[in-house]
Structure 1
Amino acid sequence: MSSLVAYDDSDSEENSSDQQERSSSPAQTAPFEQNLSPNAQILPNAPISTADRMVSGYQGDTRFNCHPHSQSQSQRDWRSFSKSQEKLVDCTSPSLPVTHCNTLPAQAPPCIQKSFSHASNSTKRQQNVPSDVRPYISKRQRLCTSVETEQKDDPSEPVHGSQNRETQILSNVPSRLTPYLGQKPRAAKIPRRPLMSLGGHQGPVNTVQWCSVPQCSHLLLSASMDKTFKVWDGAESGRCLRVYTCHSGAVRDACWTPCGQQLLTASFDNTAAITDVETGQQTVKLDNQFKVMCVALHPSNPSVVVCGGYSSAVKAWDSRSCKVVKVYKAGVQQTLDILFLKGGEDFITSSDCVSRDSADRTLIAWDYQTTAVLSNQIYHERYTCPSLALHPLEDTFVAQTNGNYMALFSTQKPYRMNKRRRYEGHKVEGYAVQCEFSQDGTLLVSGSSTGSTHFYDFHSARLLHSLQAHSKPCLCVAQHPVLPATAATCDWAGEVKIWH
């Protein structure tokens, strides 16, 4: 049964007859009566003309007629119709033409034309949004932004997981560093006075290292026994830029990757990890099943990570697949340091194995590809070597010894020690005191258990200057790769200092 809905307030005889017909079939018209406005009336069956189809919304045998008797009354009826049209007509129905839902022809009554023109204008206003209007930001994002703004000045705030601040530390180059970029490295000079003191670590700082990328060389990395490692602005502000809490144990060793965007760390929680500098997210985690004391990257293949520690074996990992690719086994208890020689074909490990008469297997040379021992009779004195350093230009390397001196060795087989040249004047006394060469290879610098820093002339082995840097044992000294006469030191009390 088809029906015709009309919006008419007149009390004519035709309306009364329509009401009688509607009451005669209540079961069929009840659904429509519930959805219509009080002024809506149902008309009997009638043929639907083409003009009525164009004016009215049409679907099946049901059409809605809007032929008002007066302009004001029709406007009120049309508003009532607009409120109920969503229930009466489904504009998304496939049986209804799309044009009947969006537009009306010129034959439509003035009330309908006015209403639809108003709707179309509002649609245009929504589509033509000015370009300078800010997009909607959710409440969660606004809260995160406010928290980051409040904690921006907190130098000790840790970075967990993938948290990322608004400030990008790798893209900010301080003004003090800019004049030296693009220039040839100058001759190394000895720093004389303190520039700034960086506090914040709650335990001994084992190592400090500048970023080797010139544009990011103002960034200073420090690793501590308080289970954290930090990145500082060591060239200008001295502010702590990031605090990384990725390890559950003491961080024993740390270094920058060649790209300067990631950090490689070794921890007593049995893992070595690669962490993104910006986000603080741990991208690679290598479970060695022993306390890791030292890590090193392969010079020609940075995806290879070599780890040593409280184990008789040294493991080489592929950081892309997180799998062990090579294992180097020796009769030692622990590995203190790892040093790749030029080219990466072989490397040197330092262990704690000391016999009664000689330091047999204290320094071991390994072939990287075959995992074979090339030599274990390199150093014959009864002292362990807590750290190793490679000369940047010559085929030599030095080993820091617990005999309170640094020994010089050749990088060519059979890795002989130069007995005529040793660097004395500082003290080690069981601490993991590190040594390092300057960029041009003219200076050799070392810390001391007395808290001082010692600068040696590499070729003559003469002590050039001794700087009283700390009151506690000075464990590491790092010379800046770009800025002249600039160095960073760290001590057993957790203090980091910049010298100029």
Structure 2
Amino acid sequence: MAGYGKGAGRVPTGFAAETFISESSFREGHRALEPGANGKKRKRENKGDLSVVSGAGAYKGPWARYEEERPDAASDEEFGSDEEVEIVYEEDELEDNPTAPTKKLAGTDYADTEAASETSEFVGSQQYDYQGRTYMHVPNDLDIKLTGERDDIKNFHPKKLIHTYKYHTKSITQVRFFPGSGHLLLSASADSKIALWDTYHQRELLRTFSGHTKSVNDIDFNPSGTQFVSASYDRYMKLWDTETGKCLNKFTSGKTPHVVRINPSSPHEFLAGMADKKILQYDTRSGEMVQEYDHHLGPVNTITFCDEDRRFVTTSDDKSLRAWEYGIPVPIKFIAEPYMFSMVRSSPHPSGKYIAFQSSDNQITVYSSTDKFRQNRKKSYRGHNVAGYAPDVAISPDGQLISSGDSGGYVCFWDWKTCKMYHKIQASDAPVLAVQWHPRETSKVITGDLNGVLKYWD
């Protein structure tokens, strides 16, 4: 055992070695450390009563502060004997002036984002047709049937640009076709606005929805298309009426929602994947949160309903995939492999058997959405570049083509069965983030890019 050396002394944490220091240096250092004026030791405040938790006389214990220096404690040398010195204490000042000064925000502080008042404006050429119907009415005067059963229409990849929609000033974050008919198009953007467009006839901007104060992350229609829910970085989720533009309800947990999905089987409920790792279930009729799913270890990126909406699958920045029974806050399946990357966007296959995920390692992976929830190793779609963005992934209505945006401004198309890339279109000079197939047409696709431009392809 090693010796302690000359003059070493034992202390509870080990030993203290002796140091050689001159008497004068020691006294000088000691004096500098000693609190209080004139070398007098400062008194501490009263320790307080152990039974009192807060308020006057609360227990401070060893954390009691030193009593303030009063002017009489200071020496005459310091202030000069003839001059009167007035010292104002903070407590005295607050008593005279009860309104405390407004707290200024430091550079890194965020202002609390209050919900802005919601406004909506109809900007189309005419609000009602000759029969008094609004744009909600599905048009019958087209060479394509937009209602009823979708027959066995085969899909093809688009080849040419047929229209460009411009209104947004910042990146497009999500686009949605009107459920079933696709005669309307809803777009959300980082400029905090949501816009409703006409897909046929004049292809004009019909209505704008304002009310979020920061970038809108996601939007989702209810199955009938009469309402939609939006999620934004201002920490609010809002339920809107598609026809009137009225905001019907607001929801917030104080955290940022990343993704929202209305349950197609019970349209009065929706799920929100949050930045604080939780998935929250809200009832739009009461405005209350009815369930909380809290098992992920990172912000939630995708929510996909499957198994006739009795279950749903979620992915997160924690690079895992979890499957849940709707309404039960315990995962029924948890997949986290070492080779997995975080999956940022998802799309269910029309057959209901698979879900395609945009993986952050520049590929689209496929998982089965039935009992096993296994990865389909044979299906991997590569050749596009994601590079830090989260481009959408979309499957054609017949299930034979899969498409994705690309950080180089392309929109890419693959064959579902063979996983071979058909072709890619240079859709923009900025990253393409939003891609959706028209639910009724054979080859119409909408894309949205980082500059806020929507392009319609055929």
| Residues 173-188 of structure 1: pairs in structure 2 closer than 5 A | 173=139, 175-176=141-142, 178-179=144-145, 181-182=147-148, 184-188=151-155
Q: CA deviation at 1:344?
A: 2.0
Q: Specify the code of the residue in structure 1 equivalent to 2:436.
A: A
User: RMSD in angstroms over aligned alpha carbons?
Assistant: 2.1
Match for residue 422 of structure 1?
Answer: 380
Contact 1:389 1:399 in 2 (8 A): yes
Contact 2:274 2:280 in 1 (8 A): no
| Residues 45-444 of structure 1: pairs in structure 2 closer than 5 A | 160=119, 166-167=127-128, 168-171=134-137, 173=139, 175-176=141-142, 178-179=144-145, 181-182=147-148, 184-214=151-181, 217-353=182-318, 359=319, 362-444=320-402
Q: Specify the code of the residue in structure 2 equivalent to 1:246.
A: G
User: Would you say 1:461 and 2:419 are equivalent positions?
Assistant: yes
Alpha-carbon displacement from aligned partner over 1:245-303 (angstroms, at most 9, x marks no partner): 02122110012211111121111111111101121100121112111110011131111
Q: Specify the code of the residue in structure 2 equivalent to 1:221.
A: L
Q: Specify the code of the residue in structure 1 equivalent to 2:158.
A: P
Q: CA deviation at 1:323?
A: 0.7
TM normalised by structure 2 equals 0.69
Q: Whose helix fraction is larger, Structure 1's or Structure 2's?
A: 1
Q: CA deviation at 1:385?
A: 0.7
Distance in 2 (alpha carbons) for counterparts of 1:207 and 1:398: 17
Structure 2 portions without partners, runs of 5+ = 1-116, 129-133
Alpha-carbon displacement from aligned partner over 1:308-359 (angstroms, at most 9, x marks no partner): 1211211001111111111001242311111111222221111111xxxxx4
* Inter-CA distance 198–177: structure 2 relative to 1 (3 Å threshold): farther
Distance in 2 (alpha carbons) for counterparts of 1:170 and 1:418: 40
Q: Secondary structure at the match of 2:173?
A: strand
Q: CA deviation at 1:178?
A: 4.9
Q: Secondary structure at the match of 2:343?
A: coil
TM normalised by structure 1 equals 0.64
Distance in 1 (alpha carbons) for counterparts of 2:127 and 2:176: 25
Name the % identity.
Answer: 26
Structure 1 portions without partners, runs of 5+ = 1-157, 354-358
Distance in 2 (alpha carbons) for counterparts of 1:439 and 1:172: 19
Contact 1:174 1:218 in 2 (8 A): no
Aligned residues: 334
Distance in 2 (alpha carbons) for counterparts of 1:409 and 1:179: 33
Q: Specify the code of the residue in structure 2 equivalent to 1:407.
A: T
Contact 1:185 1:482 in 2 (8 A): no
Distance in 1 (alpha carbons) for counterparts of 2:350 and 2:390: 22
Q: CA deviation at 1:173?
A: 2.0
Between 1:364-373 and 1:194-203, the stretch displaced more is 364-373
Q: Secondary structure at the match of 1:283?
A: strand
Distance in 2 (alpha carbons) for counterparts of 1:308 and 1:488: 25
Q: Specify the code of the residue in structure 2 equivalent to 1:474.
A: V
Q: Secondary structure at the match of 1:255?
A: strand
Q: Secondary structure at the match of 2:380?
A: strand
Q: CA deviation at 1:394?
A: 4.5
Q: Specify the code of the residue in structure 2 equivalent to 1:419.
A: R
Distance in 2 (alpha carbons) for counterparts of 1:194 and 1:174: 25
Distance in 2 (alpha carbons) for counterparts of 1:313 and 1:406: 25
Between 1:196-205 and 1:331-340, the stretch displaced more is 331-340
**Structure of greater Rg:** 1
Contact 1:256 1:264 in 2 (8 A): yes
Q: Secondary structure at the match of 1:450?
A: coil
Alpha-carbon displacement from aligned partner over 1:405-424 (angstroms, at most 9, x marks no partner): 11111113331112222011
Q: Secondary structure at the match of 1:376?
A: strand
Point out 4+ residue stretches in structure 1 off by more than 3 angstroms. 161-167, 174-183
Alpha-carbon displacement from aligned partner over 1:74-111 (angstroms, at most 9, x marks no partner): xxxxxxxxxxxxxxxxxxxxxxxxxxxxxxxxxxxxxx
| Residues 444-455 of structure 1: pairs in structure 2 closer than 5 A | 444-455=402-413
Q: CA deviation at 1:175?
A: 3.7
